């Protein structure tokens, strides 16, 4: 059995937490021969791990600021890994200098690496500069780098060409709560939008609110509203909503756990995803599986995730967002075509598949196979039995 330590100390609600819970679900599904310890700090992350049955595997690390956390990663984490007897470390973005075991670095958020010049880093701040420097070091030093899309992988390989032989792309999966669902229009509010945002500039919450204001102005016969889920300080956007005259039409939901997100996607008419930079975009796939059509931005990895199953609009274009939302909400045939395409698209993503692919990467790094149980590919739908197998040393899908 391989002792795998996952450094999730920086993991917050959002894509990172979704990925962590999904991979754990996948490894459980295939009964991977992994003894997993998860390092976590944020209370929300710990609560979700406990709710998913991973509480006994979670080692709580005190909350730390950015500078102190970097010191802990550099000096405290290697000591902890020795104490735990780690065979392998899986970490996000950062390479851990001095670690006593091989490392696989999972790159989920590399947008700072592609900032245009030093002035851009001054605007982003010290935290993002540290993330960028840490990611570039990881590209050079990690035993393997895993990327959530080909888009991010290819851009990273242009930064550090020498990393190419150690790089893999493994897509996000789809949680069983969505795989078990059947897309339906029953019980949906026909003119309620939803979004999963953060206050970061690249998420472009401003265009989302301006699109809602345009819909209210141009199509007042419909009762337009927006459910906005997201972690962070949205006070500036609440002021913008007041200036636009739509405060009473926006529900600021704050952090929503995975089940609450699933419920939101089932009650709303369309997911609007205005972000102009994404490494993948798992909410797109979750919305498609829920029968909730998607309007997203034609930028970065979003087309790679969405395929032909979403309406893609230019970046920072409230007018185009409003036009696409109006068509989805008022053209039943168009909506149903999107729902059908989305459902088919969502079936292509699986945490069980992602878990197997990670095991192949682990096997390659450790130079030994990792045993998995092929009889359990998808617990809710599996009908055929197969022999217990060992994931070999190749890195194929």
328-364 pLDDT, tens digit per residue, is 999 999 999 999 999 999 999 999 999 999 999 999 9
pLDDT at 380 over 50: no
| Tens digit of each residue's pLDDT (9 = 90 or more) over 6-65 | 999 988 888 888 899 999 999 999 999 999 999 999 999 999 999 999 999 999 999 888
pLDDT at 317 over 70: yes
Q: Can you give the pLDDT at residue 66?
A: 72
Tell me what the mean pLDDT of segment 130-159 comes to: 88
Q: Can you give the pLDDT at residue 181?
A: 66
Average pLDDT of the chain to the nearest whole number: 88
pLDDT at 124 over 70: no
Q: Which domains does the chain have, with CATH numbers?
A: 2-173+350-391 (3.40.50.2000), 177-346 (3.40.50.2000)
Question: What whole-number distance in Å separates Cα of residue 368 and Cα of residue 94?
Answer: 25
Report CA torsion sign: 145, 356, 348, 323.
negative
Instruction: Pick 385 or 297 by higher pLDDT.
Output: 297
Answer yes or no: are the C-beta atoms of 300 and 110 closer than 8 Å: no
Answer yes or no: are the C-beta atoms of 371 and 358 closer than 8 Å: no
Going by C-alpha positions, the residue among 294, 376, 346, 31 that lies closest to residue 178 is 346
* Residue 376: band (very low, low, confident or very high) from pLDDT cuts 50, 70, 90: low
Going by C-alpha positions, the residue among 82, 90, 105 that lies closest to residue 5 is 90
* Residue 314: band (very low, low, confident or very high) from pLDDT cuts 50, 70, 90: very high
CA distances 79 to 73, 85, 358, Å, are 10, 10, 25
Tell me what the mean pLDDT of segment 159-166 comes to: 93
291: left (phi over 0), alpha (psi -120 to 50) or beta: left
Residue with tokens 């550099």: 74
Question: What whole-number distance in Å separates Cα of residue 274 and Cα of residue 295?
Answer: 8
């Amino acid at each position: 059995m391989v002792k795998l330590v996952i450094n999730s100390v920086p993991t917050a609600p959002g894509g990172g937490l979704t990925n962590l819970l999904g991979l754990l679900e996948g490894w459980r599904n295939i009964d991977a021969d992994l003894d997993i310890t998860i390092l976590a700090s944020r209370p929300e992350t710990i609560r979700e791990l406990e709710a998913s049955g991973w509480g006994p595997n979670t080692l709580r690390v005190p909350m730390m600021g950015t500078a102190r956390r970097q010191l802990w990663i550099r000096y405290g984490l290697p000591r902890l890994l020795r104490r735990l007897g780690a065979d392998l470390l899986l970490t996000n973005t950062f390479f851990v200098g001095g670690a006593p075991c091989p490392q696989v670095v999972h790159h989920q958020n590399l947008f700072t690496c592609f900032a245009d010049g030093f002035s851009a880093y001054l605007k982003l701040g010290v935290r993002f500069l540290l993330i960028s420097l840490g990611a570039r070091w990881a590209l050079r030093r990690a035993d393997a780098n895993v990327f959530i899309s080909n888009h991010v992988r290819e851009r990273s390989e242009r930064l550090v060409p020498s990393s190419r032989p150690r790089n893999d792309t493994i897509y996000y999966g789809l949680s069983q709560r969505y795989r078990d669902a059947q897309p339906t229009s029953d019980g949906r509010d026909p003119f309620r939008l939803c979004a999963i945002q953060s206050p970061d500039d690249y998420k472009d919450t401003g265009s989302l609110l301006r699109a809602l204001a345009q819909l209210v102005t141009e199509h007042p016969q419909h009762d337009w509203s927006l459910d906005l889920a997201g972690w962070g300080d949205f006070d500036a956007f609440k002021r913008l909503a007041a200036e636009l005259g739509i405060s009473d039409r926006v529900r600021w939901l704050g952090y929503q756990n995975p089940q609450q997100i699933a419920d939101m996607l089932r009650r709303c008419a369309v997911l609007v995803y205005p972000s102009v930079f994404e490494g993948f975009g798992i909410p797109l796939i979750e919305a498609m599986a829920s029968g909730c059509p998607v309007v997203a931005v034609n930028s970065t990895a979003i087309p790679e995730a969405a395929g032909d199953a979403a309406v893609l609009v230019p970046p920072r274009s409230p007018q185009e967002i409003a036009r696409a939302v109006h068509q989805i909400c008022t053209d039943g045939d168009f909506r149903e075509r999107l729902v059908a395409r989305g459902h088919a698209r969502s079936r292509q993503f699986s945490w069980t598949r992602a878990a197997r692919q990670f095991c192949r990467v682990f096997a390659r790094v450790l130079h030994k196979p990792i045993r998995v149980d092929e009889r359990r590919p998808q617990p809710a739908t599996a009908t055929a039995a197969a022999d217990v197998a060992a994931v070999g040393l190749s890195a194929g899908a």
